[in-house]
Amino acid sequence: MSFNVLWLQSGGCGGCSMSLLCADTADFPALLKDGGINLLWHPSLSLDNQQDLLGLLQDVLGGHTRIDALCIEGAVLRGPNRSGRFHLLAGTDLPMMRWITQLAAVATHVLAVGSCAAWGGISASGSNPTDACGLQYEDEQMGGLLGANFCAQGGLPVINVAGCPTHPGWVIDTLMLLAAGQFDAQDLDPLGRPRFYADQLVHHGCPRNEYYEYKASAAQPTDLGCLMENMGCKGTQAHADCNTRLWNGDGSCLRGGFACINCTAPGFQSPGHAFDRTPKLAGIPVGLPTDMPKAWFVALASLSKSATPKRVKVNSRSDHVVLPPASRSTRLR
C-alpha cells in the first residue's frame, strides 16, 4: 500500500521545496516510488491544476482519499485579527489556516517542513504583521495553529523537520521511515524534531575544528579561523548534521564561509544581535557549547590559546593557508 503524501505551501519563500529538489538522486519521482511514497500533490512538482487539487481536498475531507502525511511548508498566516484572510487558498474563499486545521484532523501524520512551518521562522520575524506562527509552536512556546495538545491520528504530535531551509535528506528520510512504520515518539527530540539529525551538532565535522580546538579565531569573514568567538557562529549549540550530511553532497554554511545561525531552532530569526557578531560578557562569548559549563570553557580556552601552534595562529587570520603543516617522518624508530 502506498504512503500518501499531501504537500501544501503556506506563508514562506518556497526555499524548502527548492532544497527538496536537491535530493541526492537523478530521478526524484523514482526515489519516492521506491520508498513506497505516493505524492498526491505538491505545488511545484504536481502536473494537476488547481481545480484538481480542490477536488482532491474534498475527497480527503469526505473520507474517500487517505492522507498518511500532511506536509506543510511555510508559516501559518493568522492575520488580520485571527481571520486568516491574509492567505486564502487559491480558488476558494477560505483561509489556508482553516484548510490546514481540517486536513490535520484527518491525517495520519503531520509534518512541519522547515522552520517557518515549525516555529514561525523568518515569516514571523520583526513585528510579525501577518501574525505568522508554526503548526504547533509560536517560537519557543507550544501552541501555534493546532495547539499544544494536538496529536495526529497516528499518535504523534507535529513532526518538526526544522531548518531554513530544511535539508532534503531530512524530509525524505522522515517520510521513508514513516512509510516503513519505523518512526515513533521516541524518535523525536524535546522540540519534536527527528532525532536522526537533531541529536547531532553542526559543530560535528566542521572544517574549522582545528581552529576551534586551539581557540584560533577569525577576525573578519574571509579569515580561515573559528567563527565562534567573534563572527556569531552557533555551530556548537545548533542541532543538525549539516557538516556530515552535506547539501548537494558538497556544501554547508560553514564550508561556504558563513557562520551557523542555528536555523533549526525556534527564535533563530531574532537572536537579539547581528548574525555576524558574537555577543560577549567580560570578553567571553555568551553562547557557549551546550554541554560545557562556563568555567570549564574559560579554562580550556586559556590552555588552548597558550598551546596554539604558530601555523594555526597565523592561518586563522588569513584567507588562505600561509604556513602549511610541517613535513616529518611518522615512522617509529
**What pLDDT score does 17 carry?**
94
Three-state secondary-structure class, residue 98: helix
Which contiguous run of DSSP H or E holds residue 58? helix 50-61
**What pLDDT score does 289 carry?**
81
**What pLDDT score does 191 carry?**
98
Structural domains of the chain in order of their starting residue, each with its CATH number: 3-198 (3.40.50.700), 200-318 (4.10.480.10)
**What pLDDT score does 155 carry?**
97
Which contiguous run of DSSP H or E holds residue 285? strand 284-285
Cell of 11: 506563508
Q: Which segments of the chain have a pLDDT < 50?
A: none
Residue 43: CB atoms within 10 Å: 14
Which CB contacts under 8 angstroms, 24+ apart, belong to 175-182? Answer: 175/3, 175/5, 175/32, 175/35, 175/37, 175/69, 175/111, 176/35, 176/36, 176/37, 178/3, 178/68, 178/69, 178/109, 178/154, 179/3, 179/35, 179/36, 179/37, 179/68, 180/35, 180/36
Using CB atoms within 10 A of its CB, is residue 300 exposed (0-12), middle (13-18) or buried (19+)? middle
**What pLDDT score does 332 carry?**
73
